[in-house]
Amino acid sequence: MSQSFTVEWDWVTKFVKDVFMAYGIPEEDADICTDVLLASDRKGIESHGVNRFKPIYLDRIKAGIQHPETNFEVVRETPTTAVVDGHDGMGQVIGYKAMQMAIDKAKEFGMGMVAVRNSTHYGIAGYYTDMAAKAGCIGMTGTNARPSIAPTFGVENILGTNPLTLGFPTDEDFPFSLDCATSISQRGKIEYYARIGQDTPAGMVIGRDGKAMTDSPEILEALVNGQAALAPLGGIGEELAGYKGYGYATFVEVLSAALQQGNFLHMLSGIGENGEKQKFHLGHFFIAIDTEAFVGLDSFKKTAGDILRALRNSEVAPGEERIYTAGEKEHLVWLERKDTGLPLNEGVQQEMIAIRDELGWSDYKLPFE
Amino acid sequence: MSQSFTVEWDWVTKFVKDVFMAYGIPEEDADICTDVLLASDRKGIESHGVNRFKPIYLDRIKAGIQHPETNFEVVRETPTTAVVDGHDGMGQVIGYKAMQMAIDKAKEFGMGMVAVRNSTHYGIAGYYTDMAAKAGCIGMTGTNARPSIAPTFGVENILGTNPLTLGFPTDEDFPFSLDCATSISQRGKIEYYARIGQDTPAGMVIGRDGKAMTDSPEILEALVNGQAALAPLGGIGEELAGYKGYGYATFVEVLSAALQQGNFLHMLSGIGENGEKQKFHLGHFFIAIDTEAFVGLDSFKKTAGDILRALRNSEVAPGEERIYTAGEKEHLVWLERKDTGLPLNEGVQQEMIAIRDELGWSDYKLPFE
């Protein structure tokens, strides 16, 4: 069992759902949580898929900092807008219902926006803009998160990696999906550099001395004790326009909190005064804009597709293979994986065995045992 | 007259408005065009203010590629959305009326969005998000533009510098205003480096060989003949996440064109088949979201202000003076300039004299003569 094992989609879907239900998540909600989690694996975004099943979701339910049952309470509503309290339930369920609400409003009134308070980690942001795109809408979403990014000219990890995630439908087989943090990168990428014994590219991480840190293992330690922070998209300082990424991160921080009187910045550390784990009380926002309310869905899709194709067909840099558009690489991963299944690394296999054992499911055989 | 001369705001406002009217712009529209133009100078964004009065606006009216009279035609409308044809009138007037329409819809229904076709250069995008913020709304706007940015792994200048501009009200004296291109920088910045005899920082510009260009005069020539392109925010390649800036630029390109069946990418060069100047037929979009539709304006402003203040008060990098938030530097410029007036460089002074002479206004004395 020293290597990757590929499981069938049906199997992993059933296993994840069974476990979520065993943790107290109602069946309908477990379907949503499973779909959001595995959407990440379908796209090849390993950082947000089954790798996170145990540490981010199961362990947090067990620690009591998020609830398996989700009380989705609409605290204020207008024809196009709503404020929702998620009562620290499952972020994926809250996100799914909130984006569906924004889409329903957009379908009726042209636009819809939902702001959420007291939520938890909602998985890949792109899941929600994909929902909008499938419904013929432009989708936008953002969320605040644990403090990680330093402002331009600052060194303190204070802003979340705050994704500003955008999507829309096209006339191709997959929607445009720009699902990205407003930092250059995330902890997971630095863990990857450490694993392969490489330095982290200069500019991605800033130390307390204001200089770029590049020693990957050193960075991982420094990120934990607050001695390092992630740089915003555009890098350290102003030279390559780091203030733009900082500005986008700020916009997401404000939209995630100020529309719902929620927590922000250091309040989102997940650590209490005495070092104990505490609820995150995350905030998100979801926007849907119906393309039908403008010149129609087909026209929108055609122009969008024409633009994306023209970009891909523009002149490629010497030495590079081709040009992609946002969401395309993830679609190509899915085309490869849909028939072969999901490769699980050894760590995930072991976690799944441990989860099964802890649940006392002695009859439940895992395919990689 | 070999140096900067500072004129009074009243004087420059009257001069610009008089000239716009002499070029055939109706008085009410001339007021808007003047206010948008000088808003840039008030903020210290020299690249978009009186420096552009003649080359971008007057010369284009004279060349017949934009009309001084603006026919603002609403071609489709729903309660929250509209599609507008600007008929190649003044971009500032089209932008002002379109954002006002989005704000009016937001005030009535919570949200509003207007997509515009057949427009012209609309000045600083931040003018329109400031309008939204003044009305208690979150504002977003974007526009397509002449092809300049190369996609990630590409070398062709194909995307406009496509600003994704965001703003919102706060409890401070000035709104949050992130008014920025989705490229790292713009031609104006490289002109500045050339003027002071400095290399352009590596990563800002990509050559046809796929490598960073740094020789500033060489870049300026290469940008004109298509042998260089601007890099998206995040830089060349994927290492520092250039695909994110490329993705944001693409999003703006699509939203600016696909909601109104407009032109895009190379169609926006402003150059016809035989090298003649032609109409740009630009597209823009304007979004307003009323904070009152969520937890109320005052609550929004307070949380937004608290977040911005916390960012500014976080730990400053050694050697740096302080941390700013988006729109703050521009506000500080205004505080300095509001009583002293607007410094005009020698080039602008000469342009203004030439404009006056060409109009045959022999009695019209300029303060710097």
**What tens digit of pLDDT does each residue of B234-278 get?**
999 999 999 999 999 999 999 999 999 999 999 999 999 898 999
Name the minimum distance, in Å, from the CA of B338 to any CA of chain A. Answer: 25
CATH code for the domain in which residue A290 is found = 3.30.1370.60
pLDDT tens figures, B164-207: 999 999 999 999 999 999 999 998 889 889 989 999 999 999 99
Confirm whether A354 is domain-assigned: yes
Q: Which residue of A has its CA nearest to B167?
A: A251
Helix, strand, or coil (residue A360): coil
Q: Distance (Å, rounded) from C-alpha B351 to C-alpha B347? A: 6
The mean per-residue pLDDT over the stretch A154-162 comes to 97
**pLDDT band, residue A1 (cuts 50/70/90):** very low
Residue with tokens 């609409």: A74
Biggest CA–CA distance in chain A, Å, is: 60
- Asked if A267 reaches chain B (Cβ–Cβ under 8 Å), the answer is no
pLDDT tens figures, A330-354: 999 999 999 999 999 999 999 999 9
- Asked if B192 reaches chain A (Cβ–Cβ under 8 Å), the answer is no
For the ranges A20-29, A88-97, A274-283, the lowest mean pLDDT is seen at A274-283
Q: Distance (Å, rounded) from C-alpha A201 to C-alpha A187? A: 13
Residue partners of A191: CB distance under 8 A and separation at least 6: A220
The mean per-residue pLDDT over the stretch A220-226 comes to 92
Residue with tokens 């290597």: A3
The torsion defined by the Cα of A312, A316, A321 and A322, in degrees rounded to 10, comes to -10
Work out the burial of residue A262: count CB atoms within 10 Å of its CB; fewer than 13 is exposed, 13-18 middle, 19 or more buried: buried
The mean per-residue pLDDT over the stretch B343-347 comes to 94
Confirm whether B144 is domain-assigned: yes
**pLDDT band, residue A48 (cuts 50/70/90):** confident
% of chain B at pLDDT higher than 90: 94
The mean per-residue pLDDT over the stretch A3-23 comes to 97
- Asked if B109 reaches chain A (Cβ–Cβ under 8 Å), the answer is yes
Q: Which residues of B touch A308 (CB under 8 A)?
A: 250, 254
Confirm whether B319 is domain-assigned: no
Q: Which two tokens stand for residue B192?
A: 């500045």
- Asked if A83 reaches chain B (Cβ–Cβ under 8 Å), the answer is yes
% of chain B at pLDDT higher than 70: 99
Nearest CB partner across the interface for B319, out of A210, A240, A317:
A210
Name the minimum distance, in Å, from the CA of A210 to any CA of chain B. Answer: 5
Q: Distance (Å, rounded) from C-alpha A267 to C-alpha A117? A: 13
- 3-state DSSP helix/strand/coil percent for chain A, to nearest 5? 45, 15, 40
- Asked if A307 reaches chain B (Cβ–Cβ under 8 Å), the answer is yes
Contact A167, B278 (CB under 8 A): no
CA distances from A111 to A149, A164, A338, B258, B356 (A): 31, 18, 34, 17, 48
Residue predicted with more confidence, A225 or A256: A256
% of chain A at pLDDT higher than 90: 94
pLDDT tens figures, B136-174: 999 999 999 999 999 999 999 999 999 999 999 999 999
Indicate the pTM of the whole model. 0.98
From chain A residues 32-71, the ones with a CB under 8 A of any chain B CB are none
Total domain count for chain A? 1
Query: Cβ–Cβ contacts within 10 Å for residue B69, how many?
Result: 12
Q: Is the pLDDT of residue A134 over 60?
A: yes
Confirm whether A366 is domain-assigned: no
Confirm whether A310 is domain-assigned: no
Q: Which residues of B touch A76 (CB under 8 A)?
A: 294-295
Name the minimum distance, in Å, from the CA of B364 to any CA of chain A. Answer: 42
**pLDDT band, residue A20 (cuts 50/70/90):** very high
Q: Which residue of B has its CA nearest to A113?
A: B111
Give the residue from B126, B162, B366 showing the smallest Cα distance to B283. B162
What is the structure's pLDDT at A111? 98
Work out the mean pLDDT of chain B and round it to a whole number: 96
Helix, strand, or coil (residue B291): helix
Chain pair A-B, CB pairs under 8 angstroms: 288
Q: Is the pLDDT of residue B27 over 60?
A: yes
First and final CA of chain A: distance in angstroms?
8
Confirm whether B369 is domain-assigned: no
Q: Which residues of A touch B289 (CB under 8 A)?
A: 81, 113
The torsion defined by the Cα of A215, A221, A224 and A227, in degrees rounded to 10, comes to -60
pLDDT tens figures, A248-299: 999 999 999 999 999 999 999 999 989 899 999 999 999 999 999 999 999 9
Confirm whether B128 is domain-assigned: yes
Q: Residue A113 sits in which domain range?
A: 4-303+327-358
pLDDT tens figures, B217-234: 999 999 989 999 999 999
Name the minimum distance, in Å, from the CA of A228 to any CA of chain B. Answer: 12
What is the structure's pLDDT at B1? 44
Confirm whether A27 is domain-assigned: yes
Q: Distance (Å, rounded) from C-alpha B314 to C-alpha B310? A: 6
Complex ipTM more than 0.95, yes or no: yes
What is the structure's pLDDT at A44? 95
Cβ-defined contact of B151 to A323 (cutoff 8 Å) = yes
pLDDT tens figures, B79-117: 999 999 999 999 999 999 999 999 999 999 999 999 999
What is the structure's pLDDT at B359? 97
Q: Distance (Å, rounded) from C-alpha B170 to C-alpha B129? A: 13
Q: Distance (Å, rounded) from C-alpha A69 to C-alpha A32? A: 13
The mean per-residue pLDDT over the stretch A58-67 comes to 96
Query: Cβ–Cβ contacts within 10 Å for residue B261, how many?
Result: 18
- Asked if A74 reaches chain B (Cβ–Cβ under 8 Å), the answer is no
Round the CA-based radius of gyration of chain A to a whole number and report it. Answer: 21
